[in-house]
Structure 1
Amino acid sequence: MDDLAEWKNKLKAEGIRCTKQRINILNILLEQSKPLTAKEIHQKLEDAEISLRLSTIYRTLNLFENKRFIKKLNINDQESKFELMGEVHHHHLVCVNCNQIVPLDCPLQEYEDELSSETGYQIQDHSIKFYGLCPDCQKNDK
């Protein structure tokens, strides 16, 4: 789901008002191909000359996370990053030097189904992060 109109419908279906602030935050997340911190979202809004308090951004992100519209990522013990929950489940490849994050397709659906069948668990989520040096950091390291 990457269309703003679809996200507005999803908000309304959950009884959440489509305020200007919420729509602006959704727009920032829709425009990005990588997870962002609340501060990065705040900066992008400021760059677009949209004034929003950081506390409003955190409250909105909390609301969106509770409704499972976004996913909160904790990477390298740094500030949490947020990304929209897409239609396709994915994982992340993280550079240990510059913290660049690259989304990766998930190859585990078959294993998850098998594990659920064997254990009787109803698996709700899983998360994998790979850590390494991105090509740019490898070049700079030499």
Structure 2
Amino acid sequence: MSNSIDWENFLKEKGIRVTRQRIAILGVLDNSSKPVSARGIFDELAAKYPGIRLSTIYRNLNHFTAKNMVKMMELNIEKKESYYELKNRGHHHHMICLECGEILPLECPLKNYLLELSSETGYKIIDHRVKLYGLCPACSKEEG
């Protein structure tokens, strides 16, 4: 999806009632180059939608996840916060800084390996996930 998507029609096609908040949440996810937390979405929308609540963000993200529009990922770092991104971003992985939580999307380098593995074993590989944990350049400098 691009910034020019008609979110209203997209929601209608998915059988979801159209609201300004839902369109705004999808817009934040669409405009982000990396996964975003519910708190991050809330912080971005709070000024434009003063009445919006964090619970509204979570409820809609859960609904979008159930409708297979958004995927949720847990980073397994100290913050224990879930992050969300649109499903249409194509297959990719993430590099995550253990210090600041910065997330860097990465293209999947395993395509050829998975084809070979599937051919050798006879397995039909349905999915795989890779998360790399380390320190981003800024946090590495602070530690060193």
Band of TM-score, shorter chain: 0.7 to 0.9
| 1:87-102 superposed matches below 5 A | 87-102=89-104
Task: Count how many residue pairs are aligned between Structure 1 and Structure 2.
Answer: 141
Match of 1:31 in 2: 31
Question: Aligned residues: percent identity?
Answer: 47
Aligned-residue CA RMSD in angstroms? 2.1
Q: TM-score, normalised by structure 2?
A: 0.84
| 1:16-27 superposed matches below 5 A | 16-27=16-27
1:23 maps to a residue whose letter is I
Distance change >3 Å, CA 139–CA 114, structure 1 → 2: same
Q: Secondary structure at the match of 2:132?
A: strand
- Structure 2 spans left out of the alignment, 5+ residues: none
Q: TM-score, normalised by structure 1?
A: 0.85
Match of 1:132 in 2: 134
The separation in 1 between residues aligned to 2:81 and 2:128, in whole angstroms, is: 20
Per-residue deviation, residues 3-55 of structure 1 (Å, max 9, x unmatched): 35254443222212222111010111112122111111111111334431222
2:35 maps to a residue whose letter is P
The separation in 1 between residues aligned to 2:129 and 2:6, in whole angstroms, is: 26
Match of 2:143 in 1: 141
- Structure 1 spans left out of the alignment, 5+ residues: none
Distance change >3 Å, CA 139–CA 111, structure 1 → 2: same
